[in-house]
Amino acid sequence: MKIRLNKSVAALATGALLLVGVPVAGLATASSAAAKPVYVIGYEGPLTGSGAQYGQNELGGLNLAINNANATGMLPFTLQVKSYDSQGDPTLSPAQAQAEVANTNLVAVVGDAFSGATHAGEPYWYSAHVAAITPSATAVTIATGKNNFFRMVYGDDIQGTTDANFLVKTKGAKTVTVISDGSFYGAGIAGVVSVAAKTAGATVTNDALPQTSSCSGGVASVSEFAAEATKIKASNPAAVFYGGYACDFANLLPALKSAGYKGTVMSGDGSYDAVLLKTTTPKSAAKGAYLSAANCGSTGNLTGTLAKQYKKLTGIEPAAALYDAQAYDAGNILVAALQKVSLTGGVPAIRAAIITYLHAGSWTGVTGKIQFQANGNLVGTGKGNIAIYKVTGTKLPTAHTCY
């Protein structure tokens, strides 16, 4: 008995040693007294867990926009960003959504990063009339027609259809193999491409290759890519579309090259990421691959001074950060909204006014021209808005054609 109690004290003390460091580590926080009213913009997304990188990228972009807006000194209010970690998990999103809407200073939400979590949080945002602008959730099904939902990216349907038409009509591929990585995003876009390619007249083979442990969150084995490539070589389709993320597309490309596959290889915006050319070994294996991304007319990334500021703020390389620019634009749109709407009616009125403003306005951001439809999708059929890139060198390509 005695021994055990001593041990528990030891355990507690050792635990305390670890935990004491937490508050000590961050004593240097700045606080400034401001007489101006304070409004909070919520960010909800995965800040921990397997999708944490997306959340951190977006939070950084939003923070950058809000910091810069505050720094101008021109605003009649002070803006704060408050982050709510959903871990990208639909089961955690409702709790955070309720915390957000209960925040009496919160005027709008940027998030969630993931479609599933957005879907789960949406009823709570809607019931409190809070605008939720997602920088990255692309699932077709989440635009349900509720007036508080907005997204900064085109849905999978527009990009997927464009990609399929590019492969079948522009490149003349009569046989297409569509591979899904089994993620929410990958399965979505692969599904759209598969249907659209069939509609365009191609013979489509669907295949699945799960996310590997080279992508955080995946658990499959990378070795399967070699086998998949061998299989593709044997059936020899004219084109291969990969619905998934850059970290795994970087495994597929060298495997296809090794297997001697010579057809057209393409992937969506999940693969339009500097990680692709950081990870593909050798880099030459990526040569000739096509990538698509929504919002033609920009690289979709922060550049110049913004890129430097972003790097300084977050420590993340902006060229490697997916959806940072979308979150940055969302932040700026909300700043514009707060400058336009009447601030006299209190937070509930501001929330509703922001929704109205978002439906009426249009903006030009680093991701291009932004305007929302009634259901929150970006305006346009997407025609001319999907950029298709061809990898030529050892850097992520910026030269593109708009389709």
Between residue 221 and residue 240, which ones bind another protein under the rule CB under 8 A?
221-224, 226-228, 230-231, 233-235
Q: Does 42 bind another protein (CB under 8 A)?
A: no
**Residue 33 main-chain phi, psi, to 5 deg:** -80, 130
Q: Does 145 bind another protein (CB under 8 A)?
A: no
Q: How far apart are CA 346 and CA 256, in angstroms?
A: 59
Judged by CB under 8 A, the residue of 107, 143, 158, 209 near another protein is 209
Q: Does 200 bind another protein (CB under 8 A)?
A: no
Smallest gap, in angstroms, from Cβ of residue 377 to another protein? 17
Judged by CB under 8 A, the residue of 34, 36, 38, 91 near another protein is 91
Which tokens hold the place of 77?
């209010």
Q: Does 208 bind another protein (CB under 8 A)?
A: yes
Nearer to another protein, 23 or 304 (CB): 23
Site string for another protein, 278-317 (x = CB under 8 A): xxxxxx-------------------------------x--
Q: Does 395 bind another protein (CB under 8 A)?
A: no
Task: Kindly report the three-state secondary structure assignment for every residue of 284-322.
Answer: HHHCCCEEEECCCCCCCCCCHHHHHHHHHHHCCCHHHCC
- Which is it for strands 203-208 and 175-180: parallel, antiparallel or unpaired? parallel
Write out the binding residues for another protein, residues 93-132 only, by CB under 8 A. 93-96, 98-99, 101-102, 115-116, 119-120, 123-124, 127
Q: Which residues are CB-contacts of 206 (< 8 A; sequence separation ≥ 6)?
A: 177, 178, 180, 190, 194
Which tokens hold the place of 375?
């259901």
Q: How far apart are CA 296 and CA 68, in angstroms?
A: 25
- Residue 194: left if φ>0, alpha if ψ -120 to 50, beta else—which one? alpha
Q: Does 88 bind another protein (CB under 8 A)?
A: yes
Question: Do 131 and 353 meet the contact criterion of CB atoms below 8 Å apart?
Answer: no
Q: Does 92 bind another protein (CB under 8 A)?
A: yes
Judged by CB under 8 A, the residue of 155, 186, 268, 397 near another protein is 186
Judged by CB under 8 A, the residue of 171, 217, 303, 347 near another protein is 217
